Amino acid sequence: MFCLQQIIRVQSPDGVKRITATKRETAATFLKKVAKEFGFQNNGFSVYINRNKTGEITASSNKSLNLLKIKHGDLLFLFPSSLAGPSSEMETSAPPGFKVFGAPNVVEDEIDQYLSKQDGKIYRSRDPQLCRHGPLGKCVHCVPLEPFDEDYLNHLEPPVKHMSFHAYIRKLTGGADKGKFVALENISCKIKSGCEGHLPWPNGICTKCQPSAITLNRQKYRHVDNIMFENHTVADRFLDFWRKTGNQHFGYLYGRYTEHKDIPLGIRAEVAAIYEPPQIGTQNSLELLEDPKAEVVDEIAAKLGLRKVGWIFTDLVSEDTRKGTVRYSRNKDTYFLSSEECITAGDFQNKHPNMCRLSPDGHFGSKFVTAVATGGPDNQVHFEGYQVSNQCMALVRDECLLPCKDAPELGYAKESSSEQYVPDVFYKDVDKFGNEITQLARPLPVEYLIIDITTTFPKDPVYTFSISQNPFPIENRDVLGETQDFHSLATYLSQNTSSVFLDTISDFHLLLFLVTNEVMPLQDSISLLLEAVRTRNEELAQTWKRSEQWATIEQLCSTVGVQLPGLHEYGAVGGSTHTATAAMWACQHCTFMNQPGTGHCEMCSLPRT
């Protein structure tokens, strides 16, 4: 009796080696051969049957290779101990085989960590006409495609011009070198500091510190592949401002990043709410004012499981008020985004960078999106989504890009001055003879900087927050006469008499008012309620409803002359306190709370009525 020798291939980050073994050889003996061949200690590595680190081969003296179903010619996968196991830091940051040159301590977004672990390949079924093999075979007509396959993306309906960012990473890490020499570096338009061989600019510059010239190209990938509003109500309430005033309006999109399954390894920005900061809007302009509540809004959104994912503005001009149509002004003959809007989008994207471990700076690009409510080809309101390219972000960050006053579709690359060196910026165009020529970006068509993103509404609406027939007023709409105060809160509570307290309180703008109002801010005591809204837990909401803070809020509401239904059932304090407080009245002029039985305000001395 003798055992035929077989050759087992073992792939490691350093290459593939062949190990000679027999079928009856134990796993422990085989792993010793592997350790000797690769120069590892016995416990310095792990060997798996599958590339995704499943089916680990343990050093067992009772199991043979035949029992483990390892046969001649099989390929096993070796990972050093620093890269082995499902909790590996490398596994959460980069695809297998990618050598990281970036910042390993950067914490990426959850969606990035999730997509980096996915296979991403496009699986196809057997073609009955073209495939000539059995059901278990594969050929060029049914073999899985890579997520960056351009032919596949171009044949989708509608065609996809930009691959997803994670598909782009897979493309860089493909091939024989597995991305060994690839690094995601951010573009810089500034002179490198620390060059001591000459005088500083403008008296001197050299090739070591001089930034490279920039040739603008269409970006092949995008960081976000789809913008989806959870329901029509979110967008309609935002548009109500324009419908009532005719002035343009601005808002921040709050939501979350999820997987977009229509595109391989795609990312979707889901919008759950729109926050409207202080602003001055006219029929053709917008001016943002300083927002003292910006940080608080971000904190509240984070506790609700949301984050700022983009910004939205209107560009609507009524065409026929009887038909309800709007002017179709943004198209291929004019512009999709003006140069000022591109610069604003670039500034927002620079303020919200995309955390990325594969970049030496720890960040690369941005997931911050731009949404525009404008007229479409059918003269109805359409929502269009955009981002600007990483090249545009660099030009904006280093203050190299200016808008053109008389041509919104054109930008202008600054010229160097004694205060600032600006690298040359070029773009490629086609002349009247069909020849490709290189032009200096003075001026610059902004379509070289824009990446379009599909904007959609789901067939089945999603509701992170409850929808009411009589919603709570939106913040910073005083110009419409819609104010957030305790009178509007009392009116809202009296009109929404749902037995489910969570449905009544689950309003993004109401929660912001409870935290930011000046009479009784609840920033330090509202965490339990926010957790209840985030997890849709009615029991937690009822627990907070019985707190002293909510009882005080109800008493403040009762003083404005609106009787709340079931007031005696709410709160954690006694009925005598309710009765005594309810008898107090608020001055209509200065809102001071006065004692019962008085006819004039103790603060401003004005009459009660």
What per-residue confidence (pLDDT) applies to 238?
A: 96
490-530 pLDDT, tens digit each = 989 888 777 788 999 999 999 999 999 888 888 888 999 99
Rounded CA separation 37/81 (Å):
16
| Count of Cβ atoms closer than 10 Å to residue 9 Cβ | 13
Tokens of 439: 């032009």
| Count of Cβ atoms closer than 10 Å to residue 436 Cβ | 8
Q: What is the pTM of this model?
A: 0.76
- Enumerate the β-bridge partners of residue 259: 267
| Count of Cβ atoms closer than 10 Å to residue 414 Cβ | 17
Cis peptide before 458 (omega within 30 of 0): no
The SS3 of residue 392 is helix
What per-residue confidence (pLDDT) applies to 42?
A: 58
Number of residues assigned to the chain: 609
Domains and CATH numbers, the chain: 5-80 (3.10.20.90), 220-414+446-456 (3.40.140.10), 478-560 (no CATH)
Rounded CA separation 45/42 (Å):
7
Ranges of the chain whose pLDDT falls below 70: 1-3, 41-43, 82-104, 175-181, 561-583, 597
421-432 pLDDT, tens digit each = 999 999 988 888
Sheet holding 75-80, edge to edge: 15-22, 5-12, 75-80, 45-48, 56-57
Locus of tokens 């044949």: 155
**Phi and psi angles of residue 501, each rounded to the nearest 5 degrees, phi first:** -60, -35
Is-contact 474 237, C-beta < 8 A?
A: yes
Residue 259 CA neighbour count, 13 Å, CB half: 13
Tokens of 540: 């937690």
What per-residue confidence (pLDDT) applies to 564?
A: 58
Amino acid occupying residue 303: K
Is-contact 159 263, C-beta < 8 A?
A: no
- Evaluate the CA torsion angle 59, 65, 68, 72 in order and state its sign: positive
What per-residue confidence (pLDDT) applies to 90?
A: 35
Amino acid occupying residue 464: T
Closest CA to 357 of 545, 493, 169: 169
- Enumerate the β-bridge partners of residue 266: 260
Is-contact 331 384, C-beta < 8 A?
A: no
| Count of Cβ atoms closer than 10 Å to residue 72 Cβ | 12
Closest CA to 174 of 98, 276, 262, 258: 98
What per-residue confidence (pLDDT) applies to 249?
A: 95
| Count of Cβ atoms closer than 10 Å to residue 327 Cβ | 14
What per-residue confidence (pLDDT) applies to 255?
A: 96
According to DSSP H, which parts of 304-389 are helical?
A: 339-351
Alpha carbon dihedral 524, 530, 531, 537, in 10-degree steps, equals 130
